[in-house]
A and B are shown apart, each in its own frame.
Chain A
Amino acid sequence: MNTPILQMRGITKTFPGVKALQDVTLQVNRGEVHAICGENGAGKSTLMKVLSGVYPHSSFDGDILFENEPCNFSSISDSEKRGIVIIHQELALSPYLSIAENIYLGNEQAKRGWVDWRKTNLEAAKLLARVGLSENPVTPVQHISVGKQQLVEIAKALSKEVKLLILDEPTAALNDEDSSHLLDLILHLKGQGVTSIIISHKLNEIRKVADAVTVIRDGKTIETLRLGDGEITQERIIRAMVGRDLESLYPDREPRIGEEVLRIEDWSVRHPQDYSRMVVNNASLNVRKGEVVGLAGLMGAGRTELAMSVFGRSYGTATSGKVFKHGTEINTSTVSEAIKHGIAYATEDRKLYGLNLIEDVKRNVSMAALRKLVKGGWVDKNQETVVANDYRKSMNIKAPSVAAITGKLSGGNQQKVVLSKWMFSDPDVLILDEPTRGIDVGAKFEIYTIIAKLAAEGKAVIVISSELPELLGICDRIYALSAGHITGEVPIAEASQETLMHYMTKEKE
């Protein structure tokens, strides 16, 4: 039983300027369910992309042995030929095609170039029975739930004679019932000899199905824990996930916290497409003047969704909840209303939602508060340049001039443009979603300094971050979210990575 099916040795993958994976080793035994754990950005998905050939063999260092034979994949189809199938977090199904068509997409059951529909649907029905899905194979995929779509993905993998099934966060988008069905299926397939790798944040799930856990942190393998032997508790895994040495530094600040500025009460949000799913569930939180409040949570916990929903209903459908500013209820049902009430939200995806990349720096800075620059009906462009230049200096935006195109700046400098834009709108509450994502260490320190300065000026700041040390380094108080619920509120004095991770992985009562 303990013969390895997969050995990855010394895997090092470098992106320009970043070592995503460093000498990673992974051994998966035949017929086991092997979990991979790690914080967001630890390198789990990169490792799986290396394994499945998304990153061709020439683009990384190290060896992969599958069934004792070396693998030199140059694309996904190479790895699929060997029986390695990856199911991504974002499902790759075509919504308008039928279940059967999706299962055989790219692998059509055809005779002399013509699709054999009888065979397609018959074989698909057999596969559906194997994954325990009782749906007609001709049903369009858009008409079945996300949980069932996940099963269709697995059926598709089975159709390819899968030996090693990789599931990236398979239950992140599922409700409890669908999740437990999926986990049962993984165990069932294990009985049929299919080896699985599952990437998951949900430690209780891992303990339920996995035989071994490999923990990855900062692009390195930390350890592999065998769940069978000995007592491996959730706390033991958490310690491996977070126990890093603090390399980055945070600016010193003396918090001077005043009265409550913003309070959110009983906020609930439904998923925009899947109406039965509550993405945020009765969340209540508050933030005070001069305070930096953190929102911690793993992928899919609902942090961004909560923030965007409060900021002008930019996400999903809010079903209940009230927002109070300085004690009086305010209307934040449109973005311009929210901005008028002094709320600003700097997005986690600055390229998609934050910036007009084809425009210059000054026009991005003025975008959210252009009316402040109007004199006699026209935009005062000189004043705009003056304002943008002020921010360029005070925020230390490294650009040739404020007429430089924003898309050509580095990630850290783009982030400073986003922050400048919101500072110019002169908000009382700033919600910063992953403010340091994808930017280098030096620029991170600058962003932390800016956050500290904003708090010192009396702004109320909410920081959403996946990096726990970052939250611990800059916040005064931290809320933890798990599956749309606020599961904990921790003052900084009592907060540690372990306590936060405990709340973040906590199931709702």
Chain B
Amino acid sequence: MSALRESLGFLASRLRQVGIFVALILIVLLFQILTDGILLQPQNVTNLVVQNSYILILAIGMVMVIIAGHIDLSVGSVAGFIGACAGVMIVHWGWDWWLAIPACLLVGALVGAWQGYWIAYVGIPAFIVTLAGMLIFRGLTLIVLKNQQITPFPGELRALGGGFLPDISGGTSVLEWLTVILGVGATLALVIQAVKERRIRKKFELENEPMAWFATKTAFIALLMLTITFLLASYRGTPIVLIVLAVLVIVYTALMNNSVFGRHTYALGGNLHAAELSGIKTKAVTFRLFVNMGVLAALAGLVFTARLNSAQPAGGTGFELDAIAAAFIGGAAVTGGIGTVAGAMIGGLIMGVLNNGMSILGLGTDYQQLIKGLVLLLAVGFDIFNKNRSGKGGGASIIQRLKLKTPPAADADAGRPAEERPVPVPAGN
């Protein structure tokens, strides 16, 4: 009984994390039913992954920018601009892909450096600089493309958008074995890593999640990954862009958690003054964040262009909004300092499933936009509501409102204002 109570108390404190998982499951189930099972058909799942890949790539950079307390409205235009650059380099100038791709990423870095300079060193709010960037780079896209699309691209680049890893069974098997190996391997690695981290937390007696929750969460994620593996394997295998995305997620999660740069990013979003007075070079960190965003926007632009097999004047329009929504739905705080790459990915998937599901249902863009807007508002509204509640009463209030009795755990004491707590007796050390 007390274990159950403890678990409920823990869930209450992690309402946001639990909530986003539940929301993703509910949305998937809802559309699975509404679309008569089309949503989770192997071909559609593959489409889902490929269609959303560039938004997810943008969301990685975006959540980092948001964690630092900024925003980037220009990423859609930058992605479009890089698509245009790629068109000129590859189609007009006849550059090889191995030269054009690094060149495009470099242009993205320069774009990011340009915006980062104004934001970090001149001190213009990111909202303004990137709003200007949104116009500037859309304009440059039109200039570079002379208002006409560039097409077609050679196969090597197109593979980045729509290609798959080779089929090692030579097309004889129902399942793509390479995908199965990769998927099962990744799942195992993830589970081992989770168990390892839990052990370390236990060793250092850090606040820990109850075993039941840990097991459920890990099993759920493993199951999710295996399901996706199975679905991908029974269609055409692993999209190349999924590998790119997986590498990015792993690298950037490590970067945000374990590198000095990532930790400084959280520090300056959490309290800029404290970060400055701790000797963190806040301007340099901000500058680098925008350079990084530029590179990721360039990559997203390349993937998008490759997938469409054309560089278009309007390419990338509105991407920034999806990327920003993904970060916020994924739990990033509007005030900065909070957010994770993994959260942004789940936020992006929620947006992606909504897009895809509603398209299958044949809903017009009018209703699609309406519903996506409401989902974003509700997600952030829920966050703020939750935060206000927990600020007043120790985190468990929503559960209490649902008449579930949670015990006044150790956490509840920590939530009380300092003044109400018993005065500690000085230890004579």
Where the two chains meet, the residues of A that have a C-beta atom closer than 8 Å to any C-beta of B are 15-18, 311-312, 314, 334-336, 338-339, 345, 347, 352-359, 363, 366-368, 370-371, 374, 377-379, 381-382, 385-386, 389, 396, 398-405, 408-413, 421, 425, 440-443, 445-446, 449
Contacts and interface: CB of A to CB of B under 8 A. Distances in A.
Given A404-B207, A408-B415, 19 more contacts: A311-B277, A335-B279, A336-B281, A339-B278, A339-B279, A347-B277, A354-B274, A355-B271, A356-B267, A359-B270, A363-B263, A367-B267, A367-B275, A381-B258, A400-B411, A403-B201, A403-B206, A442-B423, A442-B426
A18 to B, nearest CB: 7
Nearest to A422: B278
Given A16-B419, A408-B415, A442-B424, A353 B206 contact: no
B271 A401 contact: no
20 contacts: A355-B274, A356-B337, A358-B270, A358-B337, A358-B338, A359-B267, A367-B274, A371-B260, A379-B259, A381-B257, A389-B204, A400-B207, A401-B204, A401-B205, A402-B206, A412-B424, A425-B279, A440-B423, A442-B423, A442-B425
A363 B266 contact: yes
Contact of A396 (B254, B411, B419, B427): B427
Interface in B192-208: 200-201, 204-207
B207 A359 contact: no
A253 to B, nearest CB: 13
B172 interface: no
B279 A401 contact: no
Contact of B420 (A17, A357, A377, A413): A17
- Select the residue from A354, A356, A442 with max chain B CB neighbours within 10 A: A356
B259 A356 contact: no
Nearest 8 Cβ contacts at the A-B interface: A410-B418, A356-B270, A16-B419, A17-B419, A368-B278, A336-B279, A445-B426, A403-B206
Nearest to B282: A335
B429 interface: yes
Nearest to B270: A356
Contact of A357 (B254, B270, B278): B270
A374 B207 contact: no
Nearest to A15: B419
B280 A367 contact: yes
Contacts of A385: 204, 206
Contacts of B254: 378
Contacts of A379: 258-260, 263
Interface in B391-429: 410-411, 414-415, 417-421, 423-427, 429
A338 B276 CA distance: 12
Contacts of A356: 266-267, 270-271, 274-275, 337
Nearest to A408: B414
B61 to A, nearest CB: 21
Contacts, number: 133
A353 B59 CA distance: 30
Contact of A409 (B200, B410, B414): B414
B352 to A, nearest CB: 29
A363 B258 CA distance: 11
Contacts of A16: 417, 419-420
Contacts of B418: 409-413
A411 B200 CA distance: 29
Contacts of B14: none
Contacts of A382: 200, 204
A396 B275 contact: no
B333 to A, nearest CB: 8
Contacts of B421: 410
Interface residues on B, range: 35 or more
A381 B420 CA distance: 33
Nearest to A445: B426
B138 interface: no
- Select the residue from A357, A371, A378, A412 with max chain B CB neighbours within 10 A: A378
B267 to A, nearest CB: 6
A33 B271 CA distance: 43
Contacts of A359: 266-267, 270, 337
Nearest to A388: B204
A345 B267 contact: no
A352 to B, nearest CB: 6
B273 interface: yes
Contacts of B410: 400
Contacts of A368: 278-279
Contacts of B236: none
Given A356-B275, A358-B338, A400 B423 contact: no
A400 B410 CA distance: 8
Interface string B257-300: 11110011011001101111111110000000000000000000
Contacts of B271: 352-353, 355-357
Contacts of A371: 260
A487 B86 CA distance: 69
B286 to A, nearest CB: 15
A345 to B, nearest CB: 7
A488 B101 CA distance: 68
Nearest to A402: B206
Given A379-B259, A396-B429, A442-B425, A314 B207 contact: no
Nearest to A395: B429
Given A336-B279, A409-B414, A378 B259 contact: yes
A403 B205 CA distance: 9
B206 A370 contact: no
- Select the residue from B254, B266, B271, B419 with max chain A CB neighbours within 10 A: B271
Contacts of A345: 277
Contact of B429 (A363, A404, A410, A449): A449
A339 B281 CA distance: 12
A421 B266 contact: no
B415 A403 contact: no
A356 B267 CA distance: 7
Contact of B273 (A339, A352, A358, A442): A352
A4 B270 CA distance: 52
B424 A403 contact: no
A363 B275 CA distance: 12
A432 to B, nearest CB: 13
B276 A314 contact: yes
Contacts of A446: 426-427
A442 B333 CA distance: 36
A382 B201 CA distance: 9
B386 to A, nearest CB: 14
Given A356-B267, A411-B418, A421 B278 contact: yes
A335 B277 CA distance: 6
Contact of A378 (B207, B258, B267): B258
Contacts of B278: 335, 339, 367-368, 421
B262 to A, nearest CB: 8
A378 B260 CA distance: 7
A347 B271 CA distance: 14
A490 to B, nearest CB: 28
Contact of B276 (A335, A377, A399, A403): A335
B251 to A, nearest CB: 12
Nearest to A438: B418
Contact of B277 (A353, A401, A449): A353
A272 B257 CA distance: 37
A455 to B, nearest CB: 16
Contacts of B417: 16
